[in-house]
Amino acid sequence: MSIFEQMAKYGHEQVHFFQHRNTKLKAIVAIHDTTMGPALGGCRMRPYESEEEALFDVLRLSRGMTYKCGVADVDNGGGKSVLIGDPNTDKSVEMFRVFGRFVQGLGGRFYTGTDMGTTPQDFVNSQRESNCFVGLPLEYGGSGNTAIPTALGVYQGIRATANVLWGHEDLTGKRFAVQGVGKVGALLIEHLVQAGAQVYITDIYQPFIDAVVSSTPAVNMLGVVAPDEIYGLDVDMFVPCALGAIVNDDTIPKFKCKAIVGSANNQLLDMDRHGKMLHERGILYAPDYLVNAGGLIQVADELKGYVPERVLAKTNSIYEMLLQVYKLSSEQNIPTWLAADRLVEERIARVADLKSVRI
């Protein structure tokens, strides 16, 4: 498909391409929908194998942000940015300052901050050129580490899922397969361990694995497995906290879990088809854009004037929101992703209607 055909497929308003020769910056910003307000979404840096892969990623991620903003009931629409490059070798102060200037040129239609492959410190440099960056360190006027509320929201999603599966939230002795133990995955494991759960872990980055193994009591650590082995483990819940599109034709037949709850974005490669396959297999799927909304809730709160207690309360409410999704899914016998989408689309339609009143 052409770029315009892809934009039409996902419902995008704008896609921007930026490059800067001296810093080797190559960036794409996708603005999906601004009905609820200015677009908001993180900036991811990866060594994409092709420009087409980067475009595919940013389009799917930005659409997901619209639904995440909608389900979290913040006054923002969805957007996302990706930088093409290796985050371990290709970064520079100047690159992020240049990126800041490009974002500033969008005139306040897009706000961004840290995501996979980027850090709050990266955007301290961007902030020197723009006021459209969020999730900065506390000492720079931001709200701090967004991985903390993200992990908390996923944990609340796990508790809600446990309630539906077993009629209680006790995770003692329950088995989890955690894919990705970086910023969010490692914090989530701390919640699970404190709740008495047991974990298998995997990651492609050995230092992340070493850090989690050294900090996790032996009674809670079931083992470290190879990346391809994580899908077929006999566990209660599969917890994807790395890349998206990992629920697909190849992995679904391998799953032996009762539920999938994790922080990774766009976990279903094909929402309709793969969501239906999980539904037919009786695997409870927690829509990712709902359970991983904690970080978004925090950075959106910065735009109003950061209040930690407000962020905590809204992040904890992910528990109740997910129960609503599961209830609608059960009542209408539809996949959980579709139930969540319907709730969000109803909310966006109500906001569009009230905004027809001009002020």
Q: What is the CATH number of the domain that holds 33?
A: 3.40.50.10860
Active site residue 80: yes
Examine residue 228 and state whether it is found in any structural domain, yes or no. Answer: yes
Q: Check the CA dihedral 212-319-289-73 and report its sign.
A: negative
Q: Which is the catalytic residue, given 26, 68, 80, 91?
A: 80
Q: CB within 8 A of 3, min separation 6: which ones?
A: 15, 55
* Spatial distance between the Cα atoms of 53 and 131, rounded to a whole number of angstroms: 29
Residues 12 and 127 in one domain: yes
Check residue 146 and give its pLDDT.
87
Count of domains forming the chain:
2
Residues 338 and 248 in one domain: yes
Residues 48 and 161 in one domain: no
What CATH number did the domain enclosing 242 receive? 3.40.50.720
Examine residue 226 and state whether it is found in any structural domain, yes or no. Answer: yes
Q: CB within 8 A of 186, min separation 6: which ones?
A: 208, 211, 212, 215
Check residue 97 and give its pLDDT.
98
- Do the Cβ atoms of 191 and 212 come closer than 8 Å? no
Examine residue 72 and state whether it is found in any structural domain, yes or no. Answer: no
Check residue 266 and give its pLDDT.
87
For 90, the token pair is 């290709």
- Do the Cβ atoms of 29 and 79 come closer than 8 Å? yes
Residues 218 and 271 in one domain: yes
Check residue 296 and give its pLDDT.
93
Q: Reply yes or no on whether the pLDDT at 309 is more than 90.
A: yes
Give alpha helix (H) positions in the chain: 3-10, 51-72, 93-104, 120-127, 147-166, 183-194, 206-215, 271-281, 288-291, 294-302, 308-316, 318-332, 336-354
Residues 110 and 242 in one domain: no
* Spatial distance between the Cα atoms of 191 and 194, rounded to a whole number of angstroms: 5
Q: In b/e form, how buried is each residue of 262-299, taking b as 16+ CB within 10 angstroms? A: bbbbbbbbebeebbbbbbeeebbbbbbbbbbbbbbbbb
Beta-bridge partner residues of 59: none
Residues 244 and 117 in one domain: no
Q: Reply yes or no on whether the pLDDT at 1 is more than 90.
A: no
Q: CB within 8 A of 144, min separation 6: which ones?
A: 120, 137, 138, 298
For 20, the token pair is 């800067």
* Tokens 């009931």, located at residue: 73
What letter represents residue 108's amino acid? G
Q: Reply yes or no on whether the pLDDT at 145 is more than 90.
A: no
Q: Reduced to 3 states, what is the DSSP secondary structure of residue 200? A: strand
| Parent domain of 184 | 147-293+320-345
Compute the mean pLDDT over every residue in the chain, rounded to the nearest whole number: 96
For 262, the token pair is 């994790």
Residues 169 and 270 in one domain: yes
Percent of the chain exceeding pLDDT 90 equals 91
Q: Give the number of other Cβ atoms within 10 Å of residue 141's Cβ.
A: 11
Residues 120 and 170 in one domain: no
* Tokens 């995955």, located at residue: 185
Model pLDDT for residues 249-268, shown as the tens digit of each residue: 999 999 999 999 999 988 99
Least-confidence region, from 226-235, 254-263, 265-274, 320-329: 265-274
Which domain-ending residue is among 117, 136, 155?
Answer: 136
Percent of the chain exceeding pLDDT 70 equals 100
Examine residue 115 and state whether it is found in any structural domain, yes or no. Answer: yes
- Do the Cβ atoms of 97 and 320 come closer than 8 Å? no
Examine residue 67 and state whether it is found in any structural domain, yes or no. Answer: no
Residues 124 and 173 in one domain: no
Q: Reply yes or no on whether the pLDDT at 190 is more than 90.
A: yes
Residues 222 and 175 in one domain: yes
Examine residue 17 and state whether it is found in any structural domain, yes or no. Answer: yes
* Spatial distance between the Cα atoms of 117 and 42, rounded to a whole number of angstroms: 11
Examine residue 307 and state whether it is found in any structural domain, yes or no. Answer: no
* Spatial distance between the Cα atoms of 330 and 132, rounded to a whole number of angstroms: 41
Examine residue 351 and state whether it is found in any structural domain, yes or no. Answer: no
Q: CB within 8 A of 10, min separation 6: which ones?
A: 32, 59, 60, 62, 63
pLDDT band for position 47 (cuts 50, 70, 90): very high
Residues 107 and 23 in one domain: yes
Residues 152 and 132 in one domain: no
* Spatial distance between the Cα atoms of 225 and 166, rounded to a whole number of angstroms: 27
